[in-house]
Amino acid sequence: MATTVLLIEDEPNIKEAVSFILERDGCTVHSLADGATALAAVARHTPDVVILDIMLPGQSGLEVLRRLRADPATAGLPVLMLTAKGQARDRAEAEALGVDRFMTKPFSNREVLAAVRELAGP
């Protein structure tokens, strides 16, 4: 059964690149470009993994993560934060909110793929 990934990323080139490497690996990828509709998209697509940027229009990725962790239905959903904001305080805030993995841009395709595989589990 294919891993379903919800990619929440507003940069078109990043969205296209990540979607390509995941789909080539057999994943089903759904994507959106803003944080405001993220929770509705999680409910609609029931992803196995969420890839989330911090800087998003409508609602930040950190706020999306906060809301995912606050809802018992999504509290355990694996989240990979993939962001250009790699400062220590951004990482610390994401970790305090319960992010599963934190990766900065630019990223290695191999690392993203390995992280998604690991987070999706067997």
- Per cent of the chain over pLDDT 90 is 89
Q: What are 21-70's pLDDT values in tens digits?
A: 999 999 999 999 999 999 999 999 999 999 999 999 999 999 999 999 99
Model confidence at 1: pLDDT above 80: no
What is 4-117's CATH superfamily?
Response regulator (3.40.50.2300)
Q: 3-state DSSP call for residue 113?
A: helix
Q: Is the pTM of this model over 0.85?
A: yes
Q: What is the mean pLDDT of residues 67-92?
A: 93
Model confidence at 18: pLDDT above 80: yes
Helical H runs in 25-108?
A: 38-45, 61-70, 88-97
Domain boundaries, the chain: 4-117
Q: State the pLDDT at residue 114.
A: 96
